[in-house]
Structure 1
Amino acid sequence: DAISLLDQLASIGLQKIEESDVENILGLAPHKVVASFVQGLLTDDKSLSMHTLEKASSTGIDLIIFTKSSSEYLRKILLAKLSGTENIEGTKEQIEEIRNVSTQAEKDVVIRVMDSLFWALQSFKNNVDPKSVLTVVCAKDYLTTINQGASLPQSTQPAQAEKKIASKENLKPNGKWQQVLMETKVKNNTIHAVLRVASPSFEDDNTLVLTFPYKFHKERIEEKKTKNMLEDIVSKTYGHQIEIKCDLEGNGGRGTQISSADDAASILGGEIVG
């Protein structure tokens, strides 16, 4: 707790406690280094992100902790874009910094970078060298897709862009449905876990059908507060008002009989760890 932390800091004889001292005691990656790394990724400044990665590595910063800290920093940026900074923890200066970054960064770019860091964290579990993985993260182009679309003259934009109807492409993991999942996770991790097991499809331009394997999932999403939150996220992501309907697989779903831990995890939208 805070008292034991102060005791640790006092025991090493510091006259003045700096932010870096707290970070060292807690084993955190330095905020300024994390912010610099993320800034490089969000702006496709590969020189900045690579230089920051080299600095972090050469100064002995744990790159796994560094990646988690960068992911958390991005989560705060995304949260600031979606709902402001009221619920964001940090110093006054850090919160102001996050507010400024969130106003400059494109939401889609923030999500792409977060996806890349999630991939990195998964790669670490396979005993891949963290520095090599993060080098790949730095090498990716996060602004390319947005810039290519924006640079086309109005007359040459694909005709499909004028249609409101959502295509199957948008429901693929790397499409807009992934953005819906990411933004849901920021707002409510439990609902995100339930939503992950859904099979999304569009009934028409304005109706998204979520098909679930279990009645539990369907009823959870149909709760008024949850449904309103998801419809708001989906509508903002796809650019027009969309209603959500819920359905069950096959003849009323699979039922909810639990015979193993795996069954329980599946029903609850989670996974077994360990």
Structure 2
Amino acid sequence: MSLVLYRKYRPQLFFEVVGQDHIIGSLKGGLTSGKFSHAYLFTGPRGTGKTTVARILARAFNCENLANGEPCGKCGSCRMVARGEAMDIAEIDAASNRGIDEIRALRDGIRFVPASLKYKVFIIDEVHMLTKESFNALLKTLEEPPAHALFILATTEIHKVPLTIISRCQRFDFQRLGIDRLTERLKKIAKAEKAKISEEALRFIGLASDGCMRDAESLLGQIIASGDKKIELEDVQKILAVADSKMIFDFFGVIFSGDRYASFLIINDLVDRGIDIQHFMQDAISHLRKLVFMAVCSSGKTDSVFCDNVLNAEKAGKEARFFDEWTDTQKKMAYSQAIGLKTENFIGILNIFVKALDDLRKFPLPQMALELAALEAIEELEGNFLADDSKTVADKAMPLKEKGQSIKNNRINAVDKENKINANKDVSSNEAVLEIKEKTSHSELTIDSIKNHWDDVLKEVKSHNNSLFAFVGASLPRELENNILIVAVKYNFHKERLEEMKNRLIIEEALEKVFGKKIKLKFVLDQNLTLSQKISEGAKDLVSSALKIFGGKIVE
């Protein structure tokens, strides 16, 4: 049985450690000058080299021929440690040795001088797993250790380590690795293993590992084991069952263009390919975050200046590092999407997908959460789709050379037609609202007058948000107390949606516009609620939308 890659290619010297230059330089400086600490605390994400650096540091403390802070690897001490025969270097897993008895035994053993090496080194991995009593037992030893004892603590959850322990150690924070360094490291390992794999595939493995070198090396080993043929990007995506960047771009492309049907096709394709919906939603949120960042970075800059800062290697600014994982073509696509939306669009859509991810476990089918999020995101953009320069996001998301005016013109023409058709309706609706305001301004507003003109409130809500209109249409005003309108709904899901701040404000603005008075809202549950024998207009829209999306018919 061969060693797994992350063990086979574990660094044995400081210069072999990737992506932690700020830490390695400090440690080597202390070793060279002889001014090193009695206790170190390594913290950071998993798989970033904490335990590896701790082992190299333990060898360096005891190396007989230390050169520029690097252990020589040839002296008796280095060879003894490499063979695992050094009794004076103890590596303890705090997850399985977390009790006070184990720490007391360690404390008692510290008093004895080293058997064969210069220093006794205790490496305590996952130190945050120790109990409160164990930390208390360790505290005095860390404060006043014997001259021959050194400690190296490692943790992925620094917030669980008591401040009294942290203050007695030199702390070093390990960072996630950048995609370029990960890809370069994987390329060297693939070459050493004589594996044929494309650079795009290696880059995708690096992205999937989320900055964790150990995960990247484990994934590479899994991919290499799949066969002797040259491995391409498509092979990696199938084996790992994760969506690529192109699918993320396509997904948001159809959302920004308002294509509900296409968004459902993409989601069904995800399910058919066995891609994890939760992972895809996390990637989608990350993509939106980058679009927000790109929109902020490009603000106040000309297109040429910003694109130079992101795409031109010689002129690359700080913002370029944020988009390392994208190809130049994808950066251009992202820029087109980013400048096509306003800040409020991004905030609304981000909130929708974050909430959908949080609610994922509530759905019997995970894809339902993503489908509803896609529909709601499109609804969020409805009516507020055009950016300041009057170009649609669908138009901007197309590559510059392939861009035409057809999408823009068709959308504007459709809007113009709809405006002409509804012009008379809008005038009559405004006249009706003015008449209601006149009446209510000279008399006290009552629940009966609100019920009589509830349809006018619904029309105002619909002009802002179609999906919210459907929810309000399935509710019923009950009482009016001290300018607080109590509205009954049948389902808790409806209540939660209506109570969201942005939705509540839209409804309250609609009430003020219709009745000329500020009215606050309070929603209550009523499982016995019946709107009337005749289904309300809002509920009708809700049903018809469901029928269009899912297919079917009403059964009496």
TM-score by length of 1: 0.49
TM-score by length of 2: 0.26
Q: Tell me which structure has the larger Cα radius of gyration.
A: 2
RCO higher in structure (CA 8 A, sep ≥6):
1
